[in-house]
């Protein structure tokens, strides 16, 4: 398989990341919870959450972390190196939701010998913003 590589030289501040949609199912929520070893009932037990007054089970924070990582390195290709991510969770993501991921480059700079970009992203669900935040990624350069 041929992988695409995003080079630092080819990125501009203000550039938008691709919009990506993803259908969230019960399986997505539960597979994410179990793969991240999070057995909290709100992420797999519908009876439990409905008794607690919630509509349905909800995506756990580790799965959102995983989706952020995937969204960013799907954009950069495998040579993009995540340095940090930070986000705020505003509204839950439930099974049946379509999640729409958008983002843009807010800063392009060098730090030490690294070529870095800061991005902002937002994952939206029908009921509002599931999460929004920032990330820093080191990119390869054409010279190397």
Site residues, other proteins (CB under 8 A): 1, 3, 22, 28, 31-32, 34-39, 61-70, 73-74, 78, 82-89
Please answer whether residues 38 and 66 qualify as being in contact, where contact means their C-beta atoms are separated by less than 8 angstroms: no
CB of 46 to other proteins, least distance (A): 18
Please answer whether residues 73 and 65 qualify as being in contact, where contact means their C-beta atoms are separated by less than 8 angstroms: no
Closer CB to other proteins, residue 63 or residue 97?
A: 63
CB of 133 to other proteins, least distance (A): 8
Closer CB to other proteins, residue 57 or residue 63?
A: 63
What is the distance between the alpha carbons of residues 137 and 12, in angstroms, rounded to a whole number? 14
Q: Report the DSSP pairing between strands 81-89 and 98-111.
A: unpaired
Q: Which residues contact 33 (CB under 8 A, 6 or more apart)?
A: 39, 40, 43, 44, 60, 62, 63
Closer CB to other proteins, residue 14 or residue 128?
A: 128
Closer CB to other proteins, residue 34 or residue 106?
A: 34
CB of 10 to other proteins, least distance (A): 20
CB of 125 to other proteins, least distance (A): 16
């Amino acid at each position: 398989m041929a992988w695409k590589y995003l080079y630092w030289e080819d990125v501009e501040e203000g550039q938008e990341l691709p919009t990506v949609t993803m259908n969230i199912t019960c399986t997505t929520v539960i597979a994410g919870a179990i793969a991240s070893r999070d057995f909290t009932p709100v992420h797999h037990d519908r009876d439990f959450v409905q008794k607690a007054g919630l509509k349905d089970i909800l995506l756990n924070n580790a799965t959102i972390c995983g989706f952020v990582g995937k969204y960013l390195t799907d954009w950069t290709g495998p040579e993009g190196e995540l340095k940090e991510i930070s986000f705020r969770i505003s509204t839950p993501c439930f099974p049946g939701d379509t999640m729409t991921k958008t983002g843009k480059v807010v800063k392009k700079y060098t730090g030490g010998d690294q070529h870095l970009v800061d991005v902002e992203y937002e994952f939206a669900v029908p009921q509002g913003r599931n999460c929004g935040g920032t990330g820093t990624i080191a990119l390869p350069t054409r010279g190397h």
